[in-house]
Amino acid sequence: MSHTNQTLGEFIIENQSSFKYTSGELSRLINSIRLAAKVVNHEVNKAGLVDILGAVGDTNIQGENQQKLDVYANEKFIQTMTKRNIVCGIASEEEDDFVAINSQDENHQNKYIVLIDPLDGSSNIDVNVSVGTIFSVYRRVTPVGTPVTIEDFLQKGNQQVAAGYVIYGTSTMLVYTTGDGVNGFTLNPAIGSFYLSHPNMQFPEDGQIYSVNEGNYIHFPKGIKDFIKYCQKEEEDRPYTSRYIGSLVSDFHRNMIKGGIYMYPKSSKNMNGKLRLLYECNPMAFLAEQANGKASDGFTRIMDIEPTELHERVPFICGSKNMVEKAEEFMRNA
């Protein structure tokens, strides 16, 4: 049962037994993500102070050597997950190849792999707009006791055991699923604890917001252009409202709460769109479906796509069920 004053730590312990693998490792993994999220949050919050802190000689911040925040976030998440003997490999937007992690005894006993976009929407950092972290968790498919391989990372989204995001916004939240609904936790910065603030999050079935980079309109496929025209048409509940932050996590988060659709279609410039299947689209698709929404490439369910490489891109349409189905209808009929 959920209590509104429940912390994330308490929630993890209380819900551990409802998860089908009950060894507690997944709970410890979520715990490590919670910890890294707090550390990164602290750094993201100071983003505008970089020069000032550098000038007074902060040891970690030295003028031009200042690390980019997405590199910093990458290191923090990898470090935190590496130390715990749970994860055997991590793939990240910031690493060309996956990182293999040996358990302390070097026997490759760790069972989980993690894919991560350490800082999503990072171009928004300089202008004080919300950014996020996206993560996706699988059990390895190669046998325990052997080194992790690329095969462990190229699994379909429907094999995910957990996924979530951290949003560093007006407040910082951690939102995740282990396949039993979606729950959102808000950080109380004074105490440093996440509290269950959004139990059982659900996309409204219909929505009135569409989120797409309309500057690329001219390059979009006909089906997407037709759907955008549909969104703009004068009808009883239309035209819809256009809202695009340019930070997938933030656009998704708003649409899940208010009802809406996010699209990053393919274009004549980017044949597969821009977003990455393994650490952007699949985790968001898992969350969307667990929250009664939908995610598609226009024709196929995102989580049924067979991945072929670590950093592959895919067109992405995600949000309120009826809106995604409408967009798919326009794609089919184009």
The site that binds Mn ion (CB under 5 A) totals a number of residues, namely 4
Q: Which of 72, 87, 121, 172: binder of ligand AHG (CB under 6 A)?
A: 121
Which of ligand AHG, Mn ion, none does 154 bind, CB closer than 5 to 8 A by kind?
none
Question: What is the CB neighbour count within 10 angstroms for residue 258?
Answer: 15
Q: Select 43 or 117, whichever has its Cβ closest to ligand AHG.
A: 117
Q: Which residues in 270-309 contact Mn ion (CB under 5 A)? A: none
The answer to whether 40 contacts ligand AHG (rule: CB under 6 A) is no
The site that binds ligand AHG (CB under 6 A) totals a number of residues, namely 11
**Could you tell me how far CA 200 lies from the centroid of its own chain?**
17
Q: Which of 40, 108, 113, 120: binder of Mn ion (CB under 5 A)?
A: 120
**Between the CA of residue 110 and those of 76, 192, 252, what are the distances in Å?**
20, 29, 32
Segment interacting with ligand AHG (CB under 6 A) among 75-83, 115-123, 290-298, 320-328: 115-123
Place of tokens 């407040």: 171
Q: Which of 94, 120, 152, 289: binder of ligand AHG (CB under 6 A)?
A: 120
CB of 24 to ligand AHG, least distance (A): 31
23 burial type by CB count under 10 A (0-12 exposed, 13-18 middle, 19+ buried): exposed
Q: In terms of Cα–Cα distance, which of 319, 7, 47, 303 is closest to 174? A: 7
**Could you tell me how far CA 112 lies from the centroid of its own chain?**
18
The answer to whether 297 contacts ligand AHG (rule: CB under 6 A) is no
**Between the CA of residue 48 and those of 106, 119, 124, 168, 171, what are the distances in Å?**
42, 16, 12, 14, 17
Which of Mn ion, ligand AHG, none does 274 bind, CB closer than 5 to 8 A by kind?
ligand AHG
Q: Which of 52, 246, 299, 309: binder of ligand AHG (CB under 6 A)?
A: 246
CB of 115 to Mn ion, least distance (A): 12
Bin 237: left if φ > 0, else alpha if -120 < ψ < 50, else beta.
Answer: alpha
Q: Which of 12, 163, 248, 277: binder of ligand AHG (CB under 6 A)?
A: 248
Q: Which residues in 77-96 contact Mn ion (CB under 5 A)? A: 93
Q: Which of 43, 117, 289, 328: binder of Mn ion (CB under 5 A)?
A: 117
The radius of gyration of the chain's CA atoms, rounded to the nearest angstrom, is 20
Q: In terms of Cα–Cα distance, which of 283, 277, 297, 292 is closest to 322? A: 292
The answer to whether 116 contacts ligand AHG (rule: CB under 6 A) is no
Cα angle for residues 282, 287, 289 (degrees, 5° grid)? 95
Interface with ligand AHG (CB under 6 A): 93, 117, 120-123, 213, 246-248, 274
Interface with Mn ion (CB under 5 A): 93, 117, 119-120
